[in-house]
A and B are shown apart, each in its own frame.
Chain A
Amino acid sequence: MTLLFGWPMVSGILQAFGGPEGLTTANFTRMTQDPYFWSSVGNTLLLIVVMIPIQFVLALAMALLIRAKPRGASAYFYIWAIPLAVSDLAAGLVWLTVFTDRGYLNSLLASLGIDPVSWLAYDNYASMFGAVLIAEVWRATSLVFVIVVAGLQSIPKDYEEAAGVFGANSWNRLWHVTLPLLRPSLQTALILRTILAFQTFAVALALTGQNFPLVVGETYRWYTGLQDPNVASALALVVMAVSMVTAVGYLKLLRDQSEAPR
């Protein structure tokens, strides 16, 4: 098993530093000098910073709604989990039909007498970012949602009922009882979601092509389009390093203080 995971990683690292004359850092220089590199880093970070909080608020709200057991709760669950089964590229293509110049959104605007907007034009950064954000929130919130639902199910109702007996209102119950007990699930979801967010690219590729580059998209472009596996590995290494740092950061940040040695 170690070999299965370790070997590709080691060969990837070697490839990132590999060159025609032995080990070199030329691939990293090439990577950072590419006009798309820094914009792809910026876009990826911006997407993560804006997207993750939105996804967590949405997923929590949805999970709490499900827990309140409204009529048809299981139907809601299945519907909200549907995006889990949709591939990123397919999701991107679906949203492309919405946002493209002659897509559903512009048709709707036209029927309301409003001038259509080039949502995905390169010089319209805000709308391009918005489109990728909406598509990615739609596609990936369900993962957080499913984890949170599972976490909620493992919390005994007794705690909340006890809090209720002591007069805590629903906000206080959520803030002081449910969320702390949900911490492990949230931590898992946060790590998973952030790492996966670093890997976002098919949605952005389908929607905006090269106009909104993301780091993993660049890895793909260097590997298949530009036929340079070395620079592609260098990019992949960056993604791996950032993912690892983030995961460790989250684990430290969200460590349950009550369990810390006293």
Chain B
Amino acid sequence: MSDLAHNDVSRRALLKGGLMALATGPILAACGVNTSGSGGKGSVNFLSTQFSPVEERQKYEATLKKFSGDTSVAYNPVDTGVFNTTLKSQLSAGKVEVGMVGGLHGDLVPFASQLEDLSSLMNDLSSAGYSDDLKELAKLGTDVPRYIPWIQATYVLAINKKALEWLPSGADVNKLTYDQYLAWAEAAKAANGRPVFGIPAGPKGLHHRFYQGFLLPSFTGGQITTFRNADAVTAWTYMRDLWANTNPASTNYDFMQEPLGNGEVLVAWDHVARLITAVKDKPDDWQMVPAPSGPKGKGYLLIVGGMAVPQGSPEKDKAFELIRALSKPEAQIETLKSNAFFPVVKTNIGGDLPGGTALEAKAVKAQQEASDALLALPPVGLGDKDPQVSQLFKNCFQEICLNNADVKATLDRQGAELAKIMDTLNVPCWAPDPKATPCKVA
């Protein structure tokens, strides 16, 4: 190093390097390295928990550019943890720099009382055709709308058509039961010499949503109240059998599109946005179908995201404008085409969807409109306890499927933890549990 310092050429090179670093700093910040939410004067800082993978983010930024008009928007997608700390610290310091926020229903719940009342905006948008469920959710448990619905999504099955040959005889792939699904996984495993079904059970995978919104409602008709009853024991015993026929590498899968894309897995359940890359290039090789049905119906989870404005937002008016723009049917359809999240407003999706998205749209519609459909929501009103509640469902999977623990004992133990959390929260139940106050584990 001392040799370098005495060398003129190297010193010049060092200087040049320093200047380069100074010059690239702002560029890096503009690329989103900055998570504080600042995007320059006059632009709306849009802090969001959605579309964080680079590709999704770029696509959504293009959508924003197309519909934001004169308003410049700095889109900052971050992890839920960062989202919470950023917003919490800015709100409690009384120095809000975030112009508007976007997140899933559960992400916004902890901030309900600190978000602007959006009644006027909701009135302006009354013709958009939000469903009553969505309007109620948007109040976040208060009397007035705190967010405007933004995106919705759900989870479906993606099937490589190769796997159809092992479908049990008499089974309709669009109306599977959980028993048929298991039989299919067994047959496919036997034929391939290895399991070819998968679930996203990696550290960032959303497999807990499978138990919360699909498996348990289908077997028990509930999510929280029925957590440890006899039906839940049946459901988790089923899950153990299914896991025995599921690719064990699933515990490393965060997004199912990767193992589906490279052929490690032929049939997978996941979030529509996490399946799209696998199916979009060769839609003819794929089929997407609703999740299976159980004894209590076809449990399915609806994910709702909303746009909100934190109180004290420096760009409140522009944020309102932006929310109006993003609520237009065209913007909503663009989001579906680019990011595979479905519109929340009444709109005709039309027939010009890209192949993969068209497959998804068909499956989503079939799932929602199934005669035995049983709507479930991700936990509502749990605030910062939300991740812990989801973790309890993951713990059940860990114990029952991976550690081979006793089903009843595991449910009792995890159920006791859940009961403790629900007792301290004292919140009403959400679908599919009966809307009772307070929500308790039976």
Interfacial residues, chain A to chain B (CB-CB below 8 A) = 20, 30, 33-36, 100-102, 118, 120-123, 205, 208-211, 224-228
Nearest residue (CB) in B for A122 is: B251
17 contacts between A and B (CB under 8 A): A20-B424, A35-B398, A101-B252, A101-B264, A118-B249, A121-B248, A121-B249, A122-B248, A210-B251, A211-B251, A225-B81, A225-B391, A227-B81, A227-B84, A227-B387, A228-B384, A228-B388
B416 to chain A, nearest CB (A): 9
Chain B interface residue count, CB cutoff 8 Å, equals 25
The complex places the Cα of A120 from the Cα of B202 at a distance, in Å, of: 12
For the complex, is B399 an interface residue (Cβ under 8 Å from A)? yes
A20 neighbours in B (Cβ, 8 Å)? 424
- Dominant secondary structure at the A interface: loop
Q: Which residues of the partner chain B approach A224 to less than 8 Å between Cβ atoms?
A: 79, 81
A144 CB to closest chain B CB, in angstroms?
Answer: 23
Cβ contact of A209, chosen from B203, B384, B395, B424, cutoff 8 A: B203
Q: 17 additional contacts, CB 8 Å, given A33-B413, A35-B395, A210-B251?
A: A35-B398, A35-B403, A36-B398, A101-B252, A101-B264, A102-B262, A120-B252, A208-B252, A209-B251, A210-B203, A211-B251, A211-B252, A226-B388, A227-B84, A227-B384, A227-B386, A227-B388
By Cβ-Cβ distance, the 5 closest A-B pairs, closest first, are: A209-B203, A224-B81, A227-B384, A122-B251, A210-B203
Tell me how far the C-beta of A155 lies from the nearest C-beta in chain B, rounded to whole angstroms.
25
Chain B contact surface mostly: helix
Interface centre among A33, A34, A225 (most CB of B within 10 A): A225
The residues of B with any CB-CB pair to A shorter than 8 Å are: 79, 81, 84, 202-203, 248-249, 251-252, 262, 264, 384-388, 391, 395, 398-399, 402-403, 413, 417, 424
Residue of A with least CB distance to B414: A35
Q: Which residue of A lies closest to B204 (CB)?
A: A209
CB distance from A151 to the nearest CB of B (A): 22
Chain B residue nearest to A34 (CB atoms) is B395
Min distance, Cβ B165 to any Cβ of chain A, angstroms: 25
Q: Are A123 and B248 in contact (CB under 8 A)?
A: yes
Q: Taking the nearest CB of chain A, how far is it from the CB of B353, in angstroms? A: 31
**Judging by beta carbons under 8 Å apart, are B264 and A226 in contact?**
no
